[in-house]
Amino acid sequence: MDKVHAEKRIKELSSEIEIHNHNYYVNDKPTISDFEFDKLLEELIALENQFPELLLSTSPSQRVGGAITKEFKSVKHTYPMLSLSNSYSTEDMIDFDRRVQEGLGLQSADLFSSSTVKYVCELKFDGLSIGLNYTNGQLVQAVTRGDGVQGDDVTTNAKTIRSIPLKLKGNFPSSFEIRGEIFMPRTIFDEINKEREEIGESPLANPRNAASGTMKMQDSSVVASRRLDCFVYYMLGEEVPFKSHFENLNAAKSWGFNVSKHSKLLDNINEVLEFIEYWDKERFNLPYDIDGIVIKVNDYKQQLQLGFTAKSPRWAIAYKFKAEQVSTELLEITYQVGRTGAITPVANLKPVALGGTTVKRASLHNADIIEKLDVRVGDFVFVEKGGEIIPKIIGVDLTKRQAHTNPTKYITHCPECGTPLIRDEGEANHFCPNEMECPPQVIGKMEHFASRKAMNIDSLGGETIDQLFKAGLVKNIADLFDLKKEQLLPLERMAEKSANNLIEGLEACKNVPFERVLYAIGIRHVGETTAKKIAKKVKSLDALMGLTKEQLLETDEVGGVIAESIADFFADEKNKNIIERLKNAGLQFELSEEQQQAGSDKLNGLTFVISGVFNKHSRDQLKELIEFNGGKNSGSISGKTSYLLAGDNMGPEKLKKAEKLGVKIISEDDFEKMLDK
């Protein structure tokens, strides 16, 4: 295809993809299958790769991510990002209404005058606030709250959020900011925690922390995979189209923004109170968390008249829901042993209704918490469901404590294998150190090994693993590959067909690429992404085993904890033995030739800073090329910078600094020559 046709096709594809995106993520009404959608996106990406000069910063291909942000630039907000004052009761709300009426010179005692202030009620989304700046209908910058005066530029990551429009439609102002909340839907949060548990990491406390942690990640493709969402709720700028908040929200909706359908324009404080009451119960049926309701005076003239205090607007307030609390009896404390040996004490409760579900169990977290709360079996405990998903025990109803109860004694030995527990310094949890023999740890490791993102052995589910372990046929992941069909057939529910499937599944997984094998062997803290990065960098397991901690730390995403954990893993003879056996069984312990050939080490040891606009490649593409060929990207010039890759309109500060430090400045052409060598 020639360039003219490519340009036309790219335009068509981009607009078609964004329409489907909008239908799926904003309207909740998909208009195309995932497969067809992926096809369109693939075609677009292929064309953009072929004609890099046609890649626009608003292309839907940006949503896939890939660009790395080493350091988030700090930028000043055009308008400070204020917060809201909080209220907790009907009285607080009536007080707010009175202050508003008085501030506007209306008589609150006069029943009829209340209709002259209209309020917009919105859900208070529990995530992180974001300021989205648009110029000529294009998303140009996304900034976090920071300290309210300046925040972090997280544009690259924000672009991966499908409900944030990259390009607007309709009649929008040439320049404005819109604020909203980025959040993580609860199903995604649950998925992530399941995976964290699998690799031995403590679960994220709540979707809010998960969302803000995700937005600060360096690799935007990981952000893309987290499927964050965003609602907008506040428009700012010199030329916003309407003179009231609600009308502007509707306008924003028509330009493509995700505005909550639950926002309502209400006539008086009584309707506001009804709205609050309704959502206090209904909130549990939403697919995301809200922690209250936001009430805003609708009319801008009235907002102006009311003005701001130092911290928050006088024309708006947040009503915070009380976390629902109940009291119930603690029947028993049991102890769970996780895949990594971490012990979690669990409170088994007399079932009680809370926040729309029946609660029977609550985590007691660790020994310190049990001691601090002084919870005892037989106590009545207060259980709360706040922002956290798992209910919490927040205290004991001492008025109901029976005489002769005993303080809880934390277990000293593993409830599964009897091994004395250990507790590392600074760690909250006790651990069972018997990694290789403690049943839930052994079984957990095998389940992880067989799981979809690891070796993907369909025919080796949890039940089968349980069975194999109990029958004494397997004690570790290497034993799986010694299994013979004859050994399987005598097992219960194991017919000829399932035995064949299992043997075939184990055979087929020998083709699973190295990066997934690295994830599958279950080194603590080495998740899917980390495994991928390490595999790409070290290329083989032998190479990885030969690295020092310092060398490991040079890999993206590998910090001290991971480096330590990898070193510990390979220091253990038993692990080495298992790896050796897996190798002999034929698993992939190095990148395939194809994978090795992709990329080069031409830029090994070199650090680049990219600045300005380029003719042949986008900046993201240049960054990828650098990493692909073994180089490193950095956001700022320092003594460690090898080259400043300079395009048009480069910042004068960067140029000055490079000259001062004697950093070599090269053009896009020079860079291409380096790669051609």
Structure tokens belonging to residue 145: 């709250």
In this complex, which beta carbon is closest to ligand IVH, that of residue 234 or of residue 614?
A: 234
Question: Are residues 402 and 374 in contact, defined by beta-carbon separation less than 8 angstroms?
Answer: no
CB nearer to ligand IVH: give 125 or 449. Answer: 125
Binding of residue 313 to ligand IVH (CB under 6 A): yes
Stretch that binds ligand IVH, among 58-66, 80-88, 337-345, 475-483 (CB under 6 A): 80-88
Contacts of ligand IVH in 273-302 (CB under 6 A): 294
Closer residue to ligand IVH (CB): 262 or 533: 262
Catalytic annotation on 124? yes
Partners of 179 in the β-ladder: 131, 234
Question: Looking at 82-90, 250-258, 267-275, 664-672, which segment touches ligand IVH (CB under 6 A)?
Answer: 82-90
DSSP secondary structure string for all residues of 62-81: GGG---B-SSPPEEE-SS--
Of all helices (H) and strands (E), which one includes residue 353? strand 343-354
**Segment near ligand IVH (CB under 6 A), from 58-66, 78-86, 135-143, 508-516?**
78-86
Binding mask 94-123 for ligand IVH (x = CB under 6 A): ----------------------------x-
Q: Which stretch binds ligand IVH (CB under 6 A): 81-89, 299-307, 568-576, 633-641?
A: 81-89
Residue 164: name the closest of 36, 270, 21, 294 by CA.
21
Q: Is 237 in the site for ligand IVH (CB under 6 A)?
A: no
Question: How is residue 387 annotated by DSSP?
Answer: S
Nearer to ligand IVH, 118 or 445 (CB): 118
**Cα 239 off chain centre by:** 35
Per rule CB under 6 A, count of chain residues that contact ligand IVH: 14
Q: How far is CA 418 from CA 355, 411, 414, 426, 445, in A?
A: 38, 10, 5, 24, 19
Q: Taking CB under 6 A as the rule, which mask of x and - marks residues 479-518 in contact with ligand IVH?
A: ----------------------------------------
Sign of CA pseudo-dihedral 30, 32, 34, 38: negative
Tokens of 393: 């025990």
DSSP structure string for 4-68? HHHHHHHHHHHHHHHHHHHHHHTSS---S-HHHHHHHHHHHHHHHHHSGGG--TT-GGGGG---B
The reply to whether 265 sits near ligand IVH by the rule CB under 6 A is: no
Q: Tell me: does residue 318 bind ligand IVH (CB under 6 A).
A: yes
For residue 196, count CB atoms less than 10 angstroms from its CB and return exposed for 0-12, middle for 13-18, buried for 19 or more.
Answer: middle
- Check residue 474 for interaction with ligand IVH (CB under 6 A): no
3 state SS for 115-172: HHCCEEEEEEECCEEEEEEEECCEEEEEEECCCCCEEEECHHHHCCCCCCCCECCCCC
| 8 Å CB contact between 320 and 291 | yes
Closest distance between ligand IVH and the C-beta of residue 25, in Å? 18
Q: Which is nearer to ligand IVH, 63 or 77 (CB)?
A: 77
- Nearest distance from C-beta of residue 18 to ligand IVH, angstroms: 25
Nearer to ligand IVH, 387 or 599 (CB): 387
Q: How far is the CB of 19 from ligand IVH (least distance, A)?
A: 27
Q: Kindly name the residue from 124, 445, 537, 623 that is annotated as catalytic.
A: 124
Least Å distance between CB 143 and ligand IVH? Answer: 13
Neighbours of 262 (CB within 10 A): 16
Nearest to 13 by CA among 70, 66, 54, 72: 54
Q: Taking the complex as a whole, how short is the minimal distance between the CB of residue 212 and ligand IVH, in angstroms? A: 11
82 binds ligand IVH, rule: CB under 6 A: yes
- Which residue in the block uniquely carries the two structure tokens 């995403």? 557
Residue 461's identity, in one-letter code, is G
Q: What is the largest CA-CA distance in the chain?
A: 89
Nearer to ligand IVH by C-beta: 269 or 316? 316
Q: Which of 48, 181, 229, 528 binds ligand IVH (CB under 6 A)?
A: 181
SS3 for 291?
strand
Of 83, 171, 174, 500, the residue at the interface with ligand IVH (CB under 6 A) is: 83
Which parts of 128-167 interact with ligand IVH (CB under 6 A)?
129
> Is residue 125 a contact point for ligand IVH (CB under 6 A)?
yes
Residue 131 or residue 256: which is nearer to ligand IVH going by CB?
131
- Report how far apart, in Å, the C-alpha atoms of 126 and of each of 212, 290, 332 are: 11, 5, 33
By beta-carbon proximity to ligand IVH, the closer residue of 97 and 122 is: 122
Q: Which residues bind to ligand IVH, rule: CB under 6 A?
A: 82-84, 122, 124-125, 129, 181, 233-234, 294, 313, 316, 318
Q: Which residues are catalytic?
A: 124
